[in-house]
Amino acid sequence: MLEAANGLEIGRDLTRANTLALPSVAERFWRARSEQDVMHGLRLANEHDWPLTVLGGGSNLLLPPHIAGLTLCPDLDGLSFRAAAGDRVDVEVGAGVVWHTLVEACVERELWGLENLALIPGLAGAAPIQNIGAYGVELGDVLEWVELIDRRDGRRRRLGRDECGLGYRDSVFKRELANRVVITRLGLGLSWRPRPRLDYGALDQRVPPSPSARDVFEAVCAIRREKLPDPVALPNAGSFFKNPVVSRQRADMLAAMHPDMPRYPQPNGDVKLAAAWLIEQCGLKSCRDGAFGVHDRQALVLVHFGGGTLDELLAFADRVAGAVRARFDIALEREPRQAGEPASG
């Protein structure tokens, strides 16, 4: 049902708007195609005292069966490239641009910096929230600024990279600014100069000597398609758990008991462990409980076979995390955010 007077949709079905295909209905839905649309949606929510949920591509957000208030979708397009000093190219991208479309556009122009982040689902506006990363590269490696609109007063702001508080799958948008802003645009700094990052996983074995950005891009796409299910065919939210980071002493103790345990030293001396390996060691790879299961090729991915609810998914995820905690005394942290959750800091 559509209120023609202001374009506000009532009772919008969001089941197809989240990659886990969790059944969900928005009480009210507002698609913003410009910054003015965003501000109008914010005014509507503020004037009527409606709870506000911001929904992008739905690839990293867990939706409840009913979302009260207003669900705002910032569908802002736009993609531009500008040569800067030296080999640098400045890229500006709207929050509503599909992330993989952005990566492919950069690779087509032989720009370096995003090729390792190919095929990550979702929209560009969500990328800083999670500080998305893959194959040894994070968004923070190329992010220059984030433009946003404050939910409370409609004020437009631009945050530099350092102000975004980026960390491993973390940012200020998940802490101090959680549920307080709407991201509208990103600025990235890429390069004409080849700078392949091939030191993660088996990526270096999948590309020719002196690879192009296209070579790395295609290798990443091939690896991801081999390991990860297509959300259209088998609903999922990608990696459901973060890779845990532990102290070096803790990692050494675990490695003494499990010599084949993958581990990745971090610049600060801590060690990142592979959550997928931990889950596999608990015998949970390809296990299924009702509508949900662990993917048979990538244990970090929880999949939805259909007919399940958010509560059932969270119960299944708790079972997986509980098994890892019981065997390794390591707590797995959920990666997707849940709509309506309070800020974590």
Which sequence positions are flagged as catalytic? Answer: 169, 239, 335
Contact between residue 21 and residue 229 where contact means Cβ atoms under 8 Å apart: no
Q: What does the DSSP assignment read for 259-327?
A: TT--EEE-TTS-EEE-HHHHHHHTT-TT-EETTEEE-SS-TTEEEE-SS--HHHHHHHHHHHHHHHHHH
- Rounded to an integer, what distance in angstroms lies between the CA atom of residue 325 and that of residue 330? 5
- Rounded to an integer, what distance in angstroms lies between the CA atom of residue 171 and that of residue 41? 25
Exposure string over 310-321, b if 16+ CB within 10 A, otherwise e: bebbeebbeebb
